[in-house]
Every structure is written in structure tokens, then in C-alpha cells.
Amino acid sequence: TDNLLQVNSLKTYYKTKTGFVKAVDDVSLFVDRAKVLGVAGESGCGKSTLVTTIFRVTPRNAQVMSGEVKYKGQDILNMDLKVFRRDIVWKEIAYIPQASMDVLDPVYKIKDQMLETILEHEDLSKADALERIYKALENVGVPAEKADMFPHELSGGQRQRVVIAMALLLSPSMIVSDEATTALDVITQAKILELMKSLQENRKFSMMFVTHDLSLLANISDSIAIMYAGKLVEFGDVEKVFGNPLHPYTQLLLKAIPDLRYRKQRRLVAIPGFPPDLENPPKGCRFAPRCPLAMPICREVEPEFSRVEGFHYVACHAVNKK
Ligand code: ATP
Ligand code: MG
């Protein structure tokens, strides 16, 4: 198959004093080679838990209850952690974490942080590594001179560009980005998105682009995954999910974007009600309490996540499955 990354029936829960927070609860999806998967859903639906599980950087109280994550067919959750960090992280999959601008250490110059990333993984002379760093910065629109600066001497947009340059330093096959543009103003956000898309097209890496803002995804994604309350509710080709959204939650998210042509404007999703408590989620469909189409069965039986037609999956009792 063309799947570079495959997540199968993944469950990641957080253990608390009172029980388990079911933050990722039976999620299955995949990212194809050289394609972009956009992942969207409201704050708290489990997006970061999904990506930190993939990167094996979850908080201490997180537990993978079941499921698997395969990268190029290899089970990366059960791989020796040292091997995973040496062979997969940065080299194969680079991760741009949420609040990634804070990842840059304030006491190190940009070039020193980048040098460390390269020299930890590759046997390269310092001069060659520096050469690569200057080029990497220029490729993301940051002048090479900035390499001698400290993070606080750069603007937010430049810092985000540096983080992207760092992610690309070892030419990974895949980038996972969690809210990479959220902290930026609207104009800078649009520029960074454009940059990421053009880098992705030129270098043909795969990308999993995670955001709470569905409107950002139309331009950059090949496929879309919509999460709600720890569950995947819809997954498919971008044309299908945007053009023919089937899950009532996706439909409402899209309605909250008045005009896709103006998608560069940041908009808040306004759906009546609140997402459920993930420690005690409702029986049946987790969206049922807020769903305008809810039927009695929705409050009793959890809908199956299944294929409608072609590359389009949905978990909803109201959708007629063929
Ligand atoms: P956002 O859009 O705000 O970044 P998210 O979709 O990334 O949200 P997560 O950060 O994955 O959501 O959180 C999923 C759920 O898990 C939330 O209900 C959150 O409160 C809970 N959670 C996150 N970290 C922990 C933790 N360490 N212990 C207990 N619960 C947690
Ligand atoms: Mg998050």
C-alpha cells in the first residue's frame, strides 16, 4: 500500500485519581506517502494525545491501552525506545509540537540548537553542518545571519520558520505538526501555511497537520480526519469531507466557516453545547447530546466507524451505509 503511517484502533487514556480520561479512544487512520492529512476537532478532543502517542512523548500518566502505530510497516510503539529515538525521530518523522516556538531553548543560539540536532544523528563536520543550517534557514525565508541570534531576538513568525527548518534538517519522510500556526497572527499564519505546503510539494514528504481550525486545512490537505471527544468521526479525501460532509459534527464545523474563500481569517467554531467529559463520556454516540439529528439509537449504541464509499469513512447512525 501507499500508507506511510498507519494508526490502528489506538486507545490512549490518562490515568487520574478518579478513573481514565479516554482522550484517544479507538482511532484508526493513515497517512499516504507524499500526502497531507489534516486532523481537526475542538480543543480537548484528543489531537495532541494522538500525536504525542505516535512520538512516544505522552505525559507520564498516559497509557496506551491498545492498538498500534505502524511506520513503513514497523510497529513504532513497541520498538526499543533508544532505537526509536535514534532511527525514527528527526530522521524519519519530525515533530513540530504544540507551542513549538517555546521548544527553542532561550539560552542557545539558533545555530547551536540546529547543530545539535544534526550532529546527534549524523557524522558530519561542523563546517558542513553549518552549511546545511544556513541553507535550511534560507529555504524557510530566514536570512542565514539569524543563525547567530537567540530565539528572543526573532519574531514569532521567524521562530516558527526556524522550528520548521529544524524539522527538515535531516530530510524526514514525514512531518507531524501540532497547531504549528496557532500562536501567530492571521497574516503570518497564512504565510507559514503557504511555506509548509510549498516545502511539502517540493520535497514530497508526508505531513500530518493538526489544528483546531478546520478552515486552515482546505488548502493544504489531501485527506481530512475529524475528531470529536476522543473518537474519529469522519475520515476521507479532502474533496469528499469538505464537499460532502456526512457527519453532523463535520457539517456544523463547516457551517462555522461562513465562506471558505476567506479562510485566511481565523474563526472560532460555535456549536451549541460543550464536548463531554472524557472520563465519563455519554453512552452511544459521544456527539449525540449536541447533535441536531440524534435519534434514540444514538443515545444507546455507539455508531460503527465504517466506509461509505471510496475513501470516505464516517461514524454516524444517521448516515446510510452502502
Ligand atoms: P487542544 O486543541 O486544546 O490542543 P487537543 O485536541 O490537543 O486540544 P488533548 O491535549 O489531546 O486535546 O487532550 C485530550 C483530553 O485529555 C482533554 O480532555 C484533556 O483535558 C485531557 N488530558 C490531556 N493531558 C492530560 C493529562 N496529563 N492527564 C489527564 N488528562 C489529560
Ligand atoms: Mg492540542
Q: Is the CB of 182 under 6 A from ligand 1?
A: no
Same domain, 29 and 80: yes
Same domain, 62 and 161: no
Let me know: does 136 contact 169? Beta carbons within 8 Å. yes
pLDDT at 262: 47
- Centre of ligand 1 from the C-alpha of residue 292, in Å: 26
Of ligand 1's listed atoms, the one at least distance from the Cα of 59 is: 27
The per-residue pLDDT of the chain, averaged, comes to 92
pLDDT at 297: 96
DSSP sequence for 92-125: TEEEE-TTGGGGS-TTS-HHHHHHHHHHHH----
Same domain, 50 and 113: no
* Ligand approaching nearest to the C-alpha of 212: 1
pLDDT > 70 fraction of the chain, expressed in percent and rounded: 94
* Ligand approaching nearest to the C-alpha of 178: 2
Residue 242 falls within a domain, yes or no?
yes
Tens of pLDDT, residues 164-176:
999 999 999 999 9
Tens of pLDDT, residues 237-277:
999 999 999 999 999 998 877 655 545 554 555 788 889 99
pLDDT at 185: 85
Beta-carbon contacts of 17 under 8 Å, excluding residues fewer than 6 positions away, are none
Same domain, 86 and 165: no
Distance from C-alpha of 316 to C-alpha of 124, rounded to nearest angstrom: 53
Distance from C-alpha of 149 to C-alpha of 143, rounded to nearest angstrom: 11
Residue 98 falls within a domain, yes or no?
no
Tens of pLDDT, residues 140-161:
999 999 999 999 999 988 999 9
Residue 163 falls within a domain, yes or no?
yes
Let me know: does 38 contact 250? Beta carbons within 8 Å. no
DSSP sequence for 10-78: EEEEEE-SSSEEEEEEEEEEEEETT-EEEEE--TTSSHHHHHHHHHT---TTEEEEEEEEEETTEESSS
Q: Is the CB of 16 under 6 A from ligand 1?
A: yes
Q: How far is CA 260 from the centre of its chain?
A: 21
* Ligand approaching nearest to the C-alpha of 46: 1
Domain boundary among 119, 143, 171: 171
Same domain, 77 and 131: no
Same domain, 161 and 176: no
Q: Assign residue 195 the CATH number of its domain.
A: 3.40.50.300
Same domain, 40 and 182: yes
Domain boundary among 171, 191, 217: 171
Backbone angles phi, psi at 241, to 5 degrees: -70, -40
Same domain, 108 and 213: no
Tens of pLDDT, residues 212-226:
989 899 989 999 999
Intra-chain end-to-end CA distance of the chain, in Å: 24
- Centre of ligand 1 from the C-alpha of residue 46, in Å: 6
Count the Cβ atoms, other than its own, within 10 Å of residue 299: 14
DSSP 149: S
- Centre of ligand 1 from the C-alpha of residue 203, in Å: 32
Q: Is the CB of 132 under 6 A from ligand 1?
A: no
Nearest to 55, CA basis, from 93, 14, 8, 7: 93
Write out the three cell numbers for 122: 549524523
Domain boundary among 152, 171, 190: 171
Same domain, 132 and 182: no
Q: Is the CB of 225 under 6 A from ligand 1?
A: no
Looking at residue 272, its amino acid is P
Count of structural domains, the chain: 2
Of ligand 1's listed atoms, the one at least distance from the Cα of 43 is: 2
Binned at pLDDT 50, 70 and 90, residue 108 comes out as very high
Q: Which helix (H) or strand (E) holds 210?
A: strand 206-211
pLDDT at 26 > cutoff 70 = yes
Mean pLDDT confidence for 30-51: 96
Q: Is the CB of 177 under 6 A from ligand 1?
A: no
Distance from C-alpha of 4 to C-alpha of 225, rounded to nearest angstrom: 16
Same domain, 178 and 244: yes
Residue 321 falls within a domain, yes or no?
no
Say whether 291 sits in a helix, a strand or coil. Answer: coil
Same domain, 52 and 149: no
pLDDT > 90 fraction of the chain, expressed in percent and rounded: 82
- Centre of ligand 2 from the C-alpha of residue 238, in Å: 22
Write out the three cell numbers for 114: 540546529
Tens of pLDDT, residues 119-128:
999 999 999 9
Same domain, 82 and 218: yes
Let me know: does 27 contact 39? Beta carbons within 8 Å. no
The residue range of the domain holding 131 is: 104-171
pLDDT at 142: 94
Of ligand 1's listed atoms, the one at least distance from the Cα of 230 is: 14
- Centre of ligand 2 from the C-alpha of residue 322, in Å: 34
Sign of CA dihedral 123, 124, 130, 131: negative
* Ligand approaching nearest to the C-alpha of 41: 1
Sign of CA dihedral 183, 262, 275, 27: negative
DSSP sequence for 177-206: EESTTTTS-HHHHHHHHHHHHHHHHHH--E
pLDDT at 29 > cutoff 60 = yes
